[in-house]
Amino acid sequence: MSLRRLELVDFRIFGAAVFTPSPEGTTVITGANGTGKTSVLEALVYLGTQRSFRGAPREALVRGGAARAIVRAELEHGASPTLVEAEIFGVGRSRTQVNRKTASGRRELSAAAPTSIFSPEDLALVGGGPRIRRELLDDALGLVDAEGARAADEVERVLRQRAALLRQAGGRVSADVASTLDVWDQRLNDAGKILVTARENLVRALDEFVGPAYGRLAGAGDRVVIDQRYVRSWEGELLDALQAHRSEDLRRGVNTVGPHRDDLVLMLEGREARTHASQGEQRCLALALRMGVHQLVMTKTPHTPILLLDDVFSELDPSRSRALIAELPPGQSVLTTAAPLPAGIEVAEIVDIARVVQEQ
């Protein structure tokens, strides 16, 4: 799979811009900080995930003064062209189409525009809260597990509806509220069990890739033991837990238990990495997680995600930079940098972001 053309309209700082990377090899986007390099990668990742990898709200993606932003990508899957278009509104519902048809869910979007993003923000994969780790798993499910991806979409829908009902109830339980909660609880139980099982299977599959990748990136070989543990937010059956927490949910007006509260706990040599690993160890582990997902997708599916590296070498020492370069698989990649690249990267094309802005 390769990106042929990316068009941006009123996205971030761009009024209109077109990015055409080399179809094979590495395209490097250069320029000073704050000139839009990361925004190019952000737009491409949005097409496959429907969110900013920088954690920004959708309204922040729309250029100031504009009502909406457009992101349009022309990609090739083998000999098959694919057009993915997103219309992002600052206020109102955004939408994405694949080949002029409304995309039906996580699986379709992930397969249409698969990417693997490496960025300085990845440190939060290890040191941050559970949400970003769940997102990593669910993004991967979009590429490797159709049933799990559908369950993730269903869980999100049910949680939104259930939360709206809890807020409307205002802590009071009428017969109508109770019966409607019973319906949502059953649906959440059914989809939640499928999603959690898919996540747990995914974590086990990643064991083959994450530990070895960490050893190579950290220069530790096979001596380091990485343990990934998927931790549920409840015990026993999910339906029983939902009913047991119903009073608390009604009192607080939120969903307090379910797959949206689960976590991926990362252990490094028997220590919880989030609290006991150094920043250098956390950064290596975050890179290994991203690389592990990329390798798993390439092993289990016909998809080859586009590698996107957002100024990652500025955060790594020379030895880890060399190790990361050695880990990068062949295929199309896009790399941004405000500084000279480390030795060892074969560059197919260099794009000056200032030139792109000037040519709007």
The closest of 334, 336, 292, 293 to 315, measured between CA atoms, is: 336
The candidate with the shortest Cα–Cα distance to 294, out of 319, 322, 328, 335, is: 328
Q: In what order do the strands lie in the sheet with 68-77?
A: 14-19, 2-11, 68-77, 80-89, 95-98, 101-102
Q: In this model, does residue 187 exceed pLDDT 50?
A: yes
The sign of the CA dihedral 258, 137, 5, 80 is: negative
pLDDT band at 228 (very low <50, low <70, confident <90, very high): very high
Q: Assign 315 a pLDDT band (cuts: 50, 70, 90).
A: confident
Confidence of residue 90 (pLDDT cuts 50, 70, 90): confident
Helix (H, G, I), strand (E, B) or coil at 224: coil
Burial letters 138-165, b for 16+ CB under 10 A, else e:
bbbbbbbbbebbbbbbbbbebbeebbeb
pTM, to two decimals: 0.91
What is the predicted pLDDT for the residue at 317? 86
Structure tokens at 283: 């950064």
Mean predicted confidence (pLDDT) in 183-209: 97
- What rounded mean pLDDT belongs to the chain? 92
Q: Is the pLDDT of residue 91 over 70?
A: yes
Instruction: Identify the pLDDT of residue 292.
Output: 94
pLDDT on residue 288? 94
Dmax of the chain from CA atoms? 68
3-state secondary structure of 16: strand
Average pLDDT over residues 34-63: 94
- Confidence class of residue 360 from pLDDT cuts 50, 70 and 90? very low
Output b/e per residue, 23-47; b: 16+ Cβ within 10 A. Answer: eeebbbbbbeeebbbbbbbbbbbbb
For 87, the token pair is 């219309």
What are the φ and ψ backbone dihedral angles of 167, each rounded to 5 degrees? -65, -40
CA distance 182 to 201: 29
Alpha helices in 20-145 (DSSP H): 37-49, 106-112, 123-127, 130-144
Tens of pLDDT, residue by residue over 124-160, are: 999 999 999 999 999 999 999 999 999 999 999 999 9
**pLDDT given for residue 328 in this prediction:** 84
- Res. 195: pLDDT tops 80: yes
Q: What percent of the chain shows pLDDT beyond 70?
A: 99
1-24+37-113+339-360 CATH choice from 3.40.50.720, 2.60.40.2140, 3.40.50.11810, 3.40.50.300:
3.40.50.300
Residue 227 has pLDDT above 50, yes or no: yes
**What pLDDT score was predicted for residue 289?**
95
Kindly report the number of other CB atoms within 10 A of residue 116's CB atom.
Answer: 24
Burial class (CB in 10 A: 0-12, 13-18, 19+), 223: exposed
Query: Residue ranges per domain, the chain?
Result: 1-24+37-113+339-360
